Structure formats: structure tokens, C-alpha cells
């Protein structure tokens, strides 16, 4: 059944589709679904009167660096347009939520939506929800509270410690919603479907599963 065939949209059915293998499958459906999954009224998006913020220069530096990570088939005019939109969305978020702090990697999350593509206003509306719920802990002045995650597996924790790997090695996965480690575009969009349709802690759950599964595979090989 098409969840958009009912009025209002059948959110339960839509969420179910997002959680299936492969996610929402096509970008046209994602453009319609993502705002619905977050309960966003696209006709009532908060405006912003200015874009002045203390972290503006850092935002611009990070966005300029990300140009080489954009799809190589994009024309330079399109790249410039995306980067300009990215700067405005980030500054708009920071000005709107003065209690939150910018972190390097936030621009990677925003970029996923701009590249779908979604327009700048819809991208802001989605991020406006995410910074209040899904990634709020990453935006506190002291990111240490995000680093407090611990592995509840003594063998795996011992192995990571012996490897001299910092316990927060996977933090960037969560900060960027995996955009730095998932290079296949379809896989990244499928993960985004999952995160938007699930509890805000789902990115942390995915990281836990990945570490545990890979750890078990390694452990099983070494003990044979």
C-alpha cells in the first residue's frame, strides 16, 4: 500500500518501508518521505533574520575543504551552489540554536540532504529537528558526554585497549552519520532512511553492532 495514498499520510506504513532492506529505494520517495518521518510542516519552516555567528569562519573553512569530497561528476557551478547552501544552512542552525556548538563533521550530515538533492529550506527544516533530538548530544559545548560511550564486553574492550586504540575511535561514525566511512552513496542513503525512521540512538546502536560483530569475527579467528 502506498503510504501517501491516505490523508493524512500513513506514517506507520512509511516508517515500515524505510526500515525494510534497501530502505526507501528511490530518491524521489525520500524527498517526499523524510520530512514526513520527522513530522515537519514544510509550509511552516522557521526563518532566520541574520547569519552572524562566532564560528562562521570555521564553518566556511570546513565547507571549502569538503569540495573535493563531492561527486566528481558535478560541474563547478553546482559545487559552488551546494557549498553556498551548506554554509547558509549551518549558520542558520547555529543562529537558531544559540545553546549548541558547531563541530567538524556536522557539515557532512547536512551534505547528505543537499546531495539528495533537497533544497536549502527543506534541508534546514530536517536539520532543525535533528539538532534538537538525533544529534543534540554531539552539539554540546563539551563533547565529552558523547565520548562517555563504553563497550560492555570485557574481551572486546581488552582487545581494543591492547591495540592502543582510543575507545572513541568510532565517534566520527556517529558525528557524521557514517558519511566518512560509507563510501557507497546508496548505502549511505539507506542508513539515513534507517536513522530518520528510528529512535535517535540508532546511529549508536549501529556502531555497537558493527564493533561487536567485527570483534567476534576477529576473536573467533584468533582462538582457532
Quick one: 11 and 48 in the same domain? no
Domain holding 13, by residue range, is 1-37
CATH number, position 83: 1.10.8.1310
Same domain, 58 and 133: yes
Q: Which three cell numbers stand for residue 139?
A: 552539539
The most distant pair of C-alpha atoms in the chain lies apart, rounded to whole Å, by: 64
Using the predicted structure, report yes or no on whether residue 167 has a pLDDT greater than 80: no
| pLDDT value, residue 35 | 97
- Location of C-alpha cell 540532504: 113
Spell out the residues 6+ positions from residue 119 whose beta carbon is closer than 8 angstroms to its own. none
Q: Please tell me the predicted confidence (pLDDT) of residue 51.
A: 95
Which residue among 140, 161, 187 closes a domain?
140
Report whether pLDDT(147) > 60: no
Tracing cell 563541530 back to the chain, one arrives at: 103
* Residues above pLDDT 90, as percent of the chain: 64
Q: What is the pLDDT of residue 4?
A: 86
**Listed residues 91, 115, 140: the one ending a domain:** 140
CATH number where 202 lies: 1.10.472.80
- Reference 38, options 139, 142, 126, 145; nearest CA is 126
Task: List, for residues 47-67, the tens digit of each pLDDT value.
Answer: 988 999 999 999 999 999 988
**206 and 169, same domain (yes or no):** yes
Q: What is the mean pLDDT of residues 185-199?
A: 97
Its pTM stands at 0.90
Among the candidates 99, 117, 140, a domain finishes at: 140
Q: What is the pLDDT of residues 83-130, one digit of tens each?
A: 999 999 999 999 999 999 999 999 999 999 999 999 999 999 999 999
48 and 134, same structural domain? yes
Q: Provide the residue count of the chain.
A: 224
Amino acid at each position: 500500500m502506498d503510504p501517501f495514498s491516505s490523508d493524512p499520510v500513513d506514517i506507520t506504513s512509511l516508517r515500515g518501508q524505510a526500515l525494510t532492506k534497501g530502505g526507501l529505494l528511490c530518491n524521489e520517495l525520500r524527498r517526499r518521505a523524510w520530512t514526513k518521518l520527522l513530522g515537519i510542516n514544510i509550509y511552516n519552516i522557521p526563518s532566520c533574520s541574520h547569519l552572524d555567528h562566532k564560528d562562521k569562519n570555521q564553518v566556511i573553512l570546513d565547507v571549502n575543504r569538503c569540495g573535493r569530497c563531492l561527486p566528481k561528476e558535478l560541474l563547478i557551478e553546482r559545487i559552488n551552489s551546494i557549498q553556498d547552501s551548506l554554509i547558509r544552512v549551518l549558520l542558520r542552525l547555529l543562529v537558531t540554536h544559540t545553546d549548541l556548538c558547531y563541530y567538524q563533521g556536522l557539515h557532512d550530515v547536512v551534505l547528505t540532504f543537499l546531495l539528495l538533492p533537497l533544497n536549502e529550506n527543506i534541508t534546514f527544516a530536517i536539520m532543525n529537528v535533528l539538532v534538537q533530538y538525533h544529534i543534540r548530544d554531539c552539539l554540546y559545548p563539551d563533547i565529552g558526554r558523547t565520548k562517555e560511550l563504553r563497550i560492555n564486553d570485557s574481551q572486546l574492550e581488552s582487545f581494543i585497549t591492547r591495540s592502543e586504540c582510543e575507545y572513541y575511535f568510532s565517534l566520527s561514525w556517529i558525528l557524521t552519520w557514517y558519511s566518512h566511512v560509507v563510501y557507497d552513496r546508496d548505502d549511505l542513503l539507506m542508513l539515513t532512511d534507517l536513522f530518520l525512521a528510528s529512535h535517535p540512538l540508532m546511529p549508536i546502536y549501529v556502531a555497537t553492532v558493527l564493533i561487536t560483530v567485527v570483534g567476534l569475527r576477529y576473536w573467533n579467528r584468533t582462538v582457532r
